[in-house]
Structure 1
Amino acid sequence: MRIDWKAVDFDWNHARAFLATAELGSLSAAAKALNSSQPTLSRQVNALEKQLKVALFERVGKGLELTPSGVELAECVKSMGNAATHLSLTASGKSESLEGAVCISASENMAAYELPAIISKLRRLEPKITIEIVASNASSDLKRREADIAIRSYRPEQLDLIAKKIRDDHFYLYAAHAYLNSIASPKTLSDLNCAYFIGPPDFQQIISMLNQRGLSLTTENFPVTTSNYTVYWELVKQGAGVGFIQEHLVKPTDNVEKVLPELGDFPIQLWLVTHRELRTNTRIQYVFEFLSKELSSYR
Structure 2
Amino acid sequence: MARRCVLDWSQVQIFLGLAEAGSLSRAVGLLGQSQPTLSRQLSALEASLGQSLFERHPRGLSLTAAGQALLPAARRMREGAQELSMALAAREKSLAGTVRITASEIVCCYFLPEFLAQMRLDHPEIQLELVASDEVENLLERSADIALRMVRPEQGMLVARKLADWPLGLYAHRRYLARHGVPTVATMGQHQWLGYDRSDQLLRGFAAAGFPVTREFFGLRSDSQVAIWEAMRAGCGIAVGLQRAAARDPDLQQVLPEMPIPPLPLWLTAHRELRDTPRLRLVFEALAAWALASP
Do the two structures share a fold, i.e. TM-score over 0.5? Answer: yes
SS in 1 for 2:156: coil
Cross-structure match for 1:168:
165
Mapped partners of 1:225, 1:272: distance in 2 = 29
Structure 1 residues 251 and 205: alpha-carbon distance in aligned structure 2, compared to 1, 3 A threshold: closer
Q: 1:230 aligns with which of 226, 232, 254?
A: 226
1:287 aligned residue (283, 288, 292)? 283
Query: Which of 166, 178, 193 is matched with 1:197 structurally?
Result: 193
Deviations 1:232-265 (A, max 9, x none): 2110011212101111112474522111112244
Extract unaligned runs of 5+ from structure 1: 1-8, 11-87
RMSD of the TM alignment (CA)?
Answer: 2.4
* Contact 1:153–1:271 under 8 Å retained in 2: yes
Does the aligned pair in 2 maintain the 1:93–1:278 contact within 8 Å? Answer: no
- Paired residue secondary structure (2:263): strand
User: 1:167: how far off?
Assistant: 0.7
Q: Closer, same or farther in 2 for the Cα pair 1:95/1:253, shift >3 Å?
A: closer
In structure 1, the partner of 2:95 is: 98
What one-letter code is carried by the residue in structure 2 that aligns with 1:240? C
Give the total of aligned pairs. 211
3-state SS of 2:186 partner: helix
Q: Secondary structure at the match of 1:261?
A: coil
Question: In structure 1, how many angstroms separate the alpha carbons of the residues matched to 2:90 and 2:290?
Answer: 23
Q: Quote the offset at 1:93 in angstroms.
A: 11
- Equivalent residue for 1:137? 134
For 1:1-299, list aligned pairs within 5 A: 95-187=92-184, 189-251=185-247, 253-299=249-295
Rounded Cα–Cα distance in structure 2 between residues aligned with 1:205 and 1:139: 15
Q: 1:163-188: CA deviations, max 9, x gaps?
A: 0111111110101223234333223x
**What per-residue deviation string (whole Å, max 9, x for no partner) do you get for residues 182-225 of structure 1?**
333223x1211232221122343312321332324222211211
- The answer as to whether partners of 1:93 and 1:280 remain within 8 angstroms in 2 is no
> Counterparts of 1:215 and 1:200 in 2: how far apart (Å)?
16
Q: What is the identity, as a one-letter code, of the residue corresponding to 2:114?
A: A
8 Å contact kept, 1:174–1:242? yes
Q: For residues 95 and 268 of structure 1, what CA distance do their matches in structure 2 show?
A: 35
Structure 2 gaps of 5+ residues are 1-6, 9-84
Is the contact made by 1:93 and 1:279 (CA closer than 8 Å) also made in structure 2? no
**% identity of equivalent residues:** 32
Distance 2:241 2:213 in 1: 19
Q: Which residue of the partner structure matches residue 74 of structure 2? A: none
In the alignment, what sits opposite 1:3? none
Cα distance in 2, alignment partners of residues 93 and 283 from structure 1? 13
Q: 1:92 to 1:223 in 2, by over 3 A?
A: farther
TM-score, normalised via structure 1 length: 0.65
> Is the CA contact (8 Å cut-off) linking 1:94 and 1:280 kept in structure 2?
no
8 A contact 1:194–1:221 mirrored in 2: no
**Amino acid of the residue matched to residue 235 of structure 1?**
A
Deviation at 1:144, TM superposition (A): 1.3
CA–CA separation in structure 2 for the residues paired with 1:219 and 1:200: 8
TM superposition shift of 1:94? 8.6
Report the secondary structure of 2:287's partner residue.
helix
- Aligned counterparts of 1:136 and 1:111: Cα–Cα separation in 2: 9
**In the aligned structure 2, how far is the partner of 1:113 from the partner of 1:219?**
27
